Amino acid sequence: MSDINWVRNTVPKSDCAKSLALMDTDTIKNIRKFHKSFPQYDETPLVSLNRLADEHNVGGIYIKDESYRFGLNSFKALGCTFALAGYIAQKLGIPVWELDYKSLPKAASKLGEFTFFAATDGNHGRAVAWAARELGQKAVIFMNKGCPQVRLEHIRAEGAEASISD
């Protein structure tokens, strides 16, 4: 059994009530409803790591297995699609809650063509590329030198213009 190293939290306390208001129960329900509107959506399975839990003498350790999320092997598509929907809703002057998977492309088309840019070393850029493609829009993704070529190809496979540079 290995020891668990504890580190004292030295981050100054702040009044986070304003920030936490963003995540009230109704907001969370609406975000979940938005994501569930995607035909590819499925709840993330929890995977039990029994041997690791036994090794650390704890009752259980579980991880969220995001490897199936929208075929992207990442949870990042959830944030990307919601952020893009929020942008579209803001530009149209409507609440984001009025949008869902079926209405997004039509709503986006009212704005004409636009391009989403991202800088990434992989998963975020792939999610932005996927979400932009789902909306019928363009994505340009910049990756830093040293990123594996396979990640660049995954992003390009989602329809984005992508490159690796210094």
Quick: pLDDT tens for 126-158: 999 988 888 888 999 999 999 999 999 999 999
Q: Catalytic: which of 42, 54, 65, 121?
A: 121
Q: Among 112, 108, 117, which residue's Cα sits nearest to residue 87?
A: 108
47: β partners: 63
Domain edges within the chain: 33-41+75-165
pLDDT under 50 in the chain at which residues?
none
CATH number for the segment(s) 33-41+75-165: 3.40.50.1100
Report pLDDT for 21. 67
Annotated active-site residue 110? The verdict is no
Annotated active-site residue 121? The verdict is yes
Q: Among 166, 159, 153, 121, which residue's Cα sits nearest to residue 140?
A: 159
Q: Catalytic: which of 18, 76, 102, 145?
A: 76
Report whether 10 contacts 66 (CB < 8 A): no
Report pLDDT for 25. 86
Q: Which amino acid is at 23?
A: M
